[in-house]
Amino acid sequence: MKKAVYPGTFDPVTNGHLDVIKRGSIIFDTLIVSVGRNPLKETLFSVKERMEMIRDHVKELQNVTVDCFDGMLVDYLKKQQTNIILRGIRTVSDFEYEFQRALTNRALNKEVETVFVMTSEQYSFLNSTLIREAVSLGGSVNQFVPADVEKRLKEKFKHMYGKNS
């Protein structure tokens, strides 16, 4: 059985992330979507909230689980008894960054393999940072994230800044 880990911040989960998850669930027997706790990144949503948002949208995928991790990804892979990382690629600059990460992970553990999946064309420009920014400025992002995620974003910014986004 082939098991892979799809790690990320997912702050918030986007339609692009969900596309990669669905496609990864076809490629692998088991896919673990794992929300990383990165001390260098400040997030809008807690790990628990991010996991809930992902779980809400992968329920129908029987071979997908949602988890979280701290520390080094290569250590988490060992804990999960796999050596495969799934990553989505949107652009050439994504590839350069992800290629460096893949080589670093392989240097840390020579058994680690990274599988890249090209993002579907309609999601190639999406990223969580732009989505958060748009909502913080009162924009609608309903074409980029599920409706419940957009609602959570608007509630979060309203609570934080008193804005009626």
> How sure is the predictor about 98, in pLDDT bands with cuts at 50, 70 and 90?
very high
Interval 112-164: pLDDT, tens: 999 999 989 998 888 999 999 999 999 999 999 999 999 999 999 987 766 55
Query: What pTM value is reported for the model?
Result: 0.93
Domains of the chain: 3-121 (3.40.50.620)
Residue pair 42/31 in contact by the 8 Å Cβ criterion: no
Which is the catalytic residue, given 25, 34, 128, 165?
A: 128
**How many CB atoms sit inside 10 A of residue 160's CB?**
10
What's the rounded Cα separation, in Å, for the pair 80 and 45?
Answer: 25
* Catalytic (active site) residue 55: no
Burial of 15 (0-12, 13-18, 19+ CB in 10 A): buried
Among the listed residues 50, 57, 90, 156, the single catalytic one is 90
For residue 57, indicate whether it is catalytic. no
93 vs 105 pLDDT, higher one: 105
- How would residue 48 be classed by pLDDT, with cut points 50, 70 and 90? very high
Using an 8 Å Cβ cutoff, are 24 and 117 in contact?
Answer: yes
